[in-house]
Structure 1
């Protein structure tokens, strides 16, 4: 049986990684230039992409009612559909701003959605991939909040709000996030204070992986964990416009 988490990269092919677009923040109009830039990037990478990994927070808010999804982002959704229809696999990992994503991407775009980190083998390299929220030590307030927001009863209650009300409230709360509103810049805290680097070291002690790739921090980072393993943070498409490229042998962070 073929392992769905094993991807062989053809000669000249590459695997691309991006995270944290937060489309819709602070408003749809303000994020439109960023969305257009991201769509242009997707158009460029589809030429040699063996696969594309999107590591969450593509939207600043996303909630799927039974028959309704948030308005907007037509350019992005259309381009993802085009790439998926062309046979290029896309993998989506939910973030803390779109953790209420369900099966819309899978049904409409044929894009599998993951709610937890996953291990992939890309050629002969092992990758541990996820958004990164709530992992590692600390961040206890968010971890408690996430338990509430992912509780099925809470989601059921939220669905009873009319979408015009529910989406408006959620968008307001999302934009109040300091990192997105611009009140606070992402700062490198030092390797010993980077929760995702510490989490990666803990997972590495359990099992070897060549690369740990996350988003969430909005800060492009490369930290060597040992001689053969590295932690990568992809940055964002708000300030840095950074993305990852793996050619089958080496991983690079690049700026678009």
Structure 2
């Protein structure tokens, strides 16, 4: 993708809309929508790197109630011709085709390579990558198993959504911040993942979310790992102007 003159690529992750309650997340949703309004005029593309919602499950004819402001704004921007790409996170991994059919937003379930103005990127949410975290990796296999999804689908939405929201809010990234602390490069699994991928193929930038921490860490002299932070505490996002990727804070 060549970025037109005066345009930029924007990256955002980990809004967790709906947590800990719809009422408490509403100010954060309004702030995110204000950010989308702020960037839509010079955006060449927008990348949403997962956990936009604290819980998302698409039944055949039902989606979770709420998030009208966000979905409407994404539809408006997509309809205007700005491409939007979505990478499912661990809180919205049960996304199916709603974003594609209703909003014309491409949905990815695994990290993917992109090139902008000859600058190479590996982009993804970040959950379950790198060494360690074996408990979560086992849990993810259960959640993504077709039988598990089929069984959950048979729960009435009022029961299924309420149960999932209760379990999701218990996640310590929302109810506490034990995991949202820098652990040092040797203990950051995504750093280790990026180093391993860099040894196999060079990328200029590795862009992920999931950690809820805005981070910029050099993988080597020509490669950098960027974590986008979140829209719970930091309100940070990434912007690539065709030459450099920077983290910024939205204060609007």
Q: Which TM-score band (shorter chain)? A: over 0.9
Q: Is 1:250 aligned to residue 244 of structure 2?
A: yes
Once superposed, which parts of structure 1, at least 4 consecutive aligned residues long, lie more than 6 Å away?
Answer: none
Distance (Å, rounded) in 2 between the aligned partners of 1:67 and 1:123 = 40
Distance (Å, rounded) in 2 between the aligned partners of 1:182 and 1:33 = 20
Instruction: Please show how residues 68-79 of structure 1 align to structure 2 within 5 Å.
Output: 68-79=62-73
Contact 2:179 2:211 in 1 (8 A): no
Distance (Å, rounded) in 2 between the aligned partners of 1:229 and 1:168 = 43
Partner of 1:17: helix, strand, or coil? strand
- Corresponding residue number in structure 2 for 1:28: 22
**Equivalent in 126, 149, 157 of residue 143 of structure 2:** 149
Report the alpha carbon displacement of residue 47 of structure 1 after superposing the two structures with TM: 1.0
**Equivalent in 101, 115, 123 of residue 117 of structure 2:** 123
Partner of 1:70: helix, strand, or coil? coil
Distance (Å, rounded) in 2 between the aligned partners of 1:115 and 1:243 = 21
Report the alpha carbon displacement of residue 182 of structure 1 after superposing the two structures with TM: 2.8
Q: How many pairs are equivalent?
A: 250
Q: Deviations over 1:106-132 (max 9, x none)?
A: 000000100000000011101000000
**Equivalent in 50, 55, 70 of residue 49 of structure 2:** 55
Aligned alpha-carbon RMSD (Å): 0.7
Distance (Å, rounded) in 2 between the aligned partners of 1:186 and 1:108 = 34
**Equivalent in 86, 89, 92 of residue 83 of structure 2:** 89
- Corresponding residue number in structure 1 for 2:38: 44
Q: Is there any run of 5+ residues in structure 1 with no aligned partner, and where?
A: 1-6
When normalised by structure 2's length, the TM-score is 0.98
